[in-house]
Amino acid sequence: MTDGRPTVLVTGANGFVGRHVVPLLASNGWVVRRAVRHPPRDANDVEIGTLGPATDWGAALDGVDAVVHLAARVHHQDEEHAIELYHNVNVGGTLHLARGAVAAGVKHFIFISTILVHGRSNNGRPPFREDDVLTPRGLYGMSKAAAEGGLRELVPGSGMRVTVIRPPLIYGAGAKGNFALLEKAVKRRIPLPLANIQNRRAFLSVQNLAAFVLFRLTNPGADFDVFLVADSEQVSTPQFIERLARAAQTAPRLFSLPKPVLSTLFRLSGRKEIDDSLLGSLELDLSKAAASGWQPPVSLDEGLKLALDHG
């Protein structure tokens, strides 16, 4: 602790999620130590270089009460040839950090995983739950599932609690990926052939993710706990686009193409993951997070407005 305040180490502090998590923790009484890959900008920054199984965490973990591990390898241009890279960063790097945290006496380790450990969609099945058998998809999802398994094995007798958070698509100011593509299309009023898609998907505003991280730091719970976290509303893809357009103060341009045609187009273009993420359903059972006493402080409409107002 510093001046009676607890210290938290945040990895990935310069990333999209980190830029929202760090100020929230700092404004709620935490001394935030940022693990950075570049020369430190202030006294609370610690340069750690490349994240992997040989990273030196000694200085970064000294005197730390909790760790929020956001850093990860998310995308690679040639994913099928990046197995070693995903493993070194997302699995080896995570477990090396966690073992260092145990040795340093850290009491709580929060790991941001992904809903992809369950798969890309649950069409025709019940909403995903924390205790489902994992069926990860893609190198990213498989690496996160492996890291979760390693953390679970590490916990017994370690004296350190672990919280695993499995978010769906995270949106907000500075988001990349599918949200950035949809935001650009809506603002440019590009017609989108998704009007007749009747799915149901969970989304998560970055403000709600940051709020849940803070909630868990102050309410650590069981030795090893897993949570599915999302906004309260789960909506269809066209409804999400309509709400995004409303936040942008414009009108959505949606038209219909048969779903089989859209699926074929995505598959022929080699973008099967877009097929799943736009056309398929991804419903989450959020009852465990609710039972813990937490409720998302930001609504879907509020989250979209924040994403665009500060984008």
Distance CA 205, CA 168 (A): 10
Residue 48's identity, in one-letter code, is I
Catalytic site includes residue 86: no
Token code pair at residue 308: 């665009």
87-to-78, 94, 100, 123, 168 alpha-carbon distances in Å: 15, 10, 18, 29, 21
Q: Which one of 140, 171, 224, 266 is the catalytic residue?
A: 140
Provide the residue type at 141 as one letter: G
Residues designated as active site: 140
